[in-house]
Structure 1
Amino acid sequence: MAPMPSNPVQRQAEVAQRGKEVMPFSLAATTHIFTKTAQGGVQQVVAKKSDDGEQVRLTRLHLQEIREQFLKGDYSGPTRIHGQDMPGLADLKAAAPGQIVITYKDINGGAELGYATENTALVAALHRWFDAQLSDHGKDAMAGHAGHSDHSSHGQMKKP
């Protein structure tokens, strides 16, 4: 496990500042939810006020865009926000196309990406990557719980 930064509050402020350059939505007006699963995980971004149409639109647009980038092995967005040494990121970048199935779904108040793989090393990399994002996003992120009704479709591998 990567060592915790000596000043996590300062790191979170730096991540939030860099995030403004990559993410079109407001970190303060949204919550990132990271739920680990046996085959990967689910990343959700939801507006703190579900009737905030602009934040909902921007989260959906962003998650659709990064899904396309991730499917091509392009993790430059998270790299710019969290740094080259972000736990799990090197393994995700090195994954062969199709090794990680990434699905997009609109949800109430935002959107989600589901990540699934049969490769246990990549599952571990996804879990490290989720942990790093939870730490870096601080009060604007939370851990989800596997088995939650919104996540029921993500326990299954979808064959390409």
Structure 2
Amino acid sequence: MNKRFLAVAAAAFILLPWSSHAADPARQAEVAGRGADVMPFNLKATTHVFTKTTHGGVQRVVAKGAAEKQQVELVRAHLHEIQDQFINGDFSGPSHVHGAQMPGLAQLQAAKPGQISIDYREVDGGAELTYRASDPKLVSSLHAWFDAQLSDHGADAMPGQHHTHDSVSPR
């Protein structure tokens, strides 16, 4: 049998329970409840945008209302804090919110210091983190991690436009 077919079939078999489970509204409610333990801002008052890039991706969180200055400050403080945590290999926040079996998470946790760069930047209405890795397996893990967050956050998240390079949109 074709090795490529077997690899695709194995990946589908492994990820199928996650994808069908993640789309469940009950799961999204559980994740939102646990998210309040980690995210200081109101999930319903913000939008998470996950944009995949060739070398990783951009996670942007912005307040839905332009007048939500408190939410903007909370988003910025949180993303700055998780940048520090992730650079030090601490992915306990996503593990608590999404579960230890979240796609891509184990590989991100196992990355050696410096294998993933994470840059913080303020944007209108919030902030963003840009993740970069040169190892294709880590890039794939970042993409799987983004996909899982999109499913788990439901209406409070959206995919960005896939970029073939790592530049981010202007402020």
Deviation at 1:6, TM superposition (A): 7.7
Question: Which residue is equivalent to 1:64?
Answer: 80
Bigger Cα Rg: 2
Q: Which TM-score applies when normalising by structure 1? A: 0.91
Q: How far apart, CA to CA, are the structure 2 residues paired with 1:112 and 1:43? A: 5
Task: Report runs of 4+ in structure 1 exceeding 2 Å deviation.
Answer: 151-154
- Provide the C-alpha distance between the structure 2 equivalents of 1:86 and 1:114, rounded to a whole number of angstroms: 20
Kept after mapping to 1: 8 A contact 2:22/2:148:
no
What CA distance in whole angstroms lies between the structure 2 residues aligned with 1:6 and 1:90? 17
More helix by share: 2
Pairing 1:7-156 to 2, within 5 Å after superposition: 8-147=24-163, 152-153=167-168
Output the CA distance in 2 between the equivalents of 1:50 and 1:14: 28
Displacement of 1:50: 2.2
The Cα offsets for residues 57-109 of structure 1, whole Å up to 9 and x where unpaired, read as 00000000000000000000000000010000000000000000100000000
Indicate the SS of the match to 1:28: helix
RMSD over aligned CA atoms reads 1.7
Cα 1:6/1:114, change in 2 over 3 Å: closer
Q: Structure 1 vs Structure 2: percent identity of aligned residues?
A: 56
Distance 2:121 2:52 in 1: 17
CA distance in 1, matches of 2:112, 2:66: 36
Q: Size of the alignment, in residue pairs?
A: 152
Contact 2:22 2:152 in 1 (8 A): no
Cα 1:101–1:6 shift into 2, 3 Å: closer
Alpha-carbon distance between aligned partners in 1 of 2:110 and 2:135, rounded to the nearest angstrom: 13
Unaligned runs of 5+ in 1: 155-160
TM-score if structure 2 supplies the norm length?
0.85
